[in-house]
């Protein structure tokens, strides 16, 4: 069972770790390595369960464990996101970056165009000091 969006693979063979633990470990590893950036919106419990062929309770258990470890955070009805590591300043910056990414995506900019716009804005702001 593999998630196409998150690149999560669950090994159902005998002797492998429990599915919730495999899911928890893979999301945690990807978040800590930066493959899942801070602010990345995770699929809903039901959506990921369906995609992986797991019970919703299995995914919920993994999400609860990840939230307890501060790897992810639930923002009510807005969804579940990869938490920013570090202090509040970094978390705020990550949230602002995620909002920017969401906004430019809605505008139809390519990743390269969005990155160029952000780079120019940062260059102008830091040069003004």
What are the tens digits of pLDDT across the range 12-35? Answer: 898 899 999 999 999 998 988 888
What pTM does this model have?
A: 0.66
User: Helix-strand-coil percent breakdown of the chain, rounded to 5?
Assistant: 60, 10, 35
Average pLDDT rounded to a whole number, residues 51-59: 96
Residue with tokens 């009805």: 77
For residues 19 and 27, what is the distance between their CA atoms, to the nearest angstrom?
12
Confidence of residue 107 (pLDDT cuts 50, 70, 90): very high
């Amino acid at each position: 069972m593999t998630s196409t969006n998150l690149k999560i693979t669950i090994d159902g063979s005998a002797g492998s770790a429990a599915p919730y633990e495999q899911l928890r470990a893979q999301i945690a590893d990807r978040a800590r390595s930066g493959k899942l950036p801070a602010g990345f919106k995770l699929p809903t419990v039901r959506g990921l369960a369906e995609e992986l062929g797991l019970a919703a309770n299995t995914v919920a258990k993994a999400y609860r464990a990840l939230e307890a470890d501060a790897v992810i955070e639930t923002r009510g009805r807005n969804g579940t996101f990869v938490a920013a590591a570090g202090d509040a300043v970094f978390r705020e910056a990550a949230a602002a970056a995620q909002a920017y990414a969401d906004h430019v995506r809605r505008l139809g900019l390519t990743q390269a165009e969005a990155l160029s716009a952000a780079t120019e804005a940062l260059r102008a702001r830091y040069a003004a000091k």
